[in-house]
Amino acid sequence: MNHSVTCEQLDQWREAWENDPERQLAALALSKSEIPSVAYSRAAANRMHPRFSLELETLPVANQEHSGRCWLFAATNVVREAIAKKLNLEKFELSQSYLAFWDKFERANYFLERIIETAEKPADDREVAFILQTGVHDGGQWTMFVNIAEKYGLVPKDAYDETFQSANTRPMNYLLNRALKAAAPKLRAMVRAGEAEETVQARKAEVLGKIYGFLCSCYGEPPKTFDFEYTDKDKVFHAERGLTPQAFCERWAADILRENVSVIHAPTQDKPFHRTYTIRYLGNVEGGKPVVHLNLTMEELKAAIIRQLEAGEPVWFGSDVGHAGDREKGIWDTELYGYELLSGLDLEISKADALDYGFSAMNHAMVLTGVNLVDGKPNRWKIENSWGDKNGEKGYYVCSDAWFDQFVYQAAIRRPYLGELAELAGQAPKELDPWDPMGTLAD
């Protein structure tokens, strides 16, 4: 049977459009204006007041510049608040570049190990193609931050500051991935030829040595020790000499790294709630902790977040910021744009279908620092972003609770605030395919 579009159908649709005043009005409005500008709801924007019944006092926002390091900025923003509170600081920032250096280096090793592991499979095998396509880039997840910090420690930003390349990563990433893909066929050929593991690993080490040198050129050589100097709010100067990054991390951040659980909200049929999940090939440190998510209902997720905020602790979270946002005003709200009214299209899609059909997944990590509660229920949330202080309220944003329900996917919650649900995190996780949407990275 022929199901092509007919001339009769085209005539019907043409007549319907010509006689529809809403479509004619839309044509006039769209003739010289951008679609988002025409669909923008000022009334919805006005409802997103940057005022909250529960609001943490936090440090000024940071700026990830032209890089995809949001997950590292969000993580260090959470950790620095705890350190600043302990040390009575009004200004403090951890080095995101230090973590990014070691993440890049470790991820190169992780990539090459996966290439060696899958050497017997053809290059067009779906898993091999996924590994090659993913390569090394800026994005990450909470557990990947933990892996780097636990192995290499943390340093203050003034001990390892930004460089041009750390803030503008695209050319650097291009060269890294070109080098890795140049090495991949050689390593695969060695494995297929039956060469000894020691020989293959020696060749891999040569590649990693050159990558280490390139990263040092881009970021500077990471410090083995540093002096931690600071002046507290009482104008008292302090100095701790010869600290290692690992010692600094253990002293000031170990509890945060060890107590957080990665919690997700994925309401798809393949992921029952109250189960744990891991994703094959998702990681950065070979031999590090696997990324494991505990899937909870949205009500459970929000209740845990609110408990953590009530305790005075900010929350790292991952969301999809590509929908219903006004960057200049610093707003995310599902009612911010009247796209259905303007377009005449049916645009409603459930969160589960959005995940299953590739419409939405986590792509950006930020920090929750407040919430507005009405009769105990949230209606908007305060967000610390890492896009500088030019937009929103000096870089702080607000989202509606409806947007939160639809586009928030992950949070790092301290175990005490999960209550009895924390015990569920110890389950043996179900392994998901590498391309599962819960394996997407925040950048």
pLDDT tens digits along 318-363: 999 999 999 999 999 999 999 999 999 999 999 999 999 999 999 9
Average pLDDT, the chain: 97
Residues of the chain falling short of pLDDT 70: none
The answer to whether residue 278 sits within a structural domain is yes
241: tokens are: 């000499």
Q: What is the CATH number of the domain that holds 104?
A: 3.90.70.10
Q: Write the CB contacts of 400 (distance below 8 Å, at least 6 apart in sequence).
A: 47, 48, 332, 333, 334, 335, 379, 380
Of residues 77, 218, 364, 372, which has the active-site annotation? Answer: 364
Question: In the annotation, is 364 catalytic?
Answer: yes
Residue-level pLDDT at 384: 98
Residue-level pLDDT at 400: 98
Q: What is the pLDDT of residues 182-198, one digit of tens each?
A: 999 999 999 999 999 99
The answer to whether residue 1 sits within a structural domain is no
Of residues 70, 218, 249, 399, which has the active-site annotation? Answer: 70
The greatest distance separating any two alpha carbons of the chain, rounded to the nearest whole angstrom, comes to 84
**DSSP-assigned beta bridge partners for residue 371:** 54, 381
The answer to whether residue 47 sits within a structural domain is no
How many domains are contained in the chain?
1
The answer to whether the CB of 318 falls within 8 A of the CB of 362 is yes
Residue-level pLDDT at 229: 95
The answer to whether residue 30 sits within a structural domain is no
The answer to whether residue 42 sits within a structural domain is no
User: For strand 331-332 and strand 396-400, is the pairing parallel, antiparallel, or unpaired?
Assistant: parallel
Of residues 63, 77, 379, 385, which has the active-site annotation? Answer: 385
Question: In the annotation, is 399 catalytic?
Answer: no
Q: The pTM is what? A: 0.96
The answer to whether residue 80 sits within a structural domain is yes
Question: In the annotation, is 70 catalytic?
Answer: yes
The answer to whether residue 43 sits within a structural domain is no
The answer to whether residue 324 sits within a structural domain is yes
Range of the domain at 166: 54-439
The DSSP result for 84-132, as a single string, is: HHHHT-SS--B-HHHHHHHHHHHHHHHHHHHHHHTTTS-TTSHHHHHHH
Residue-level pLDDT at 210: 98
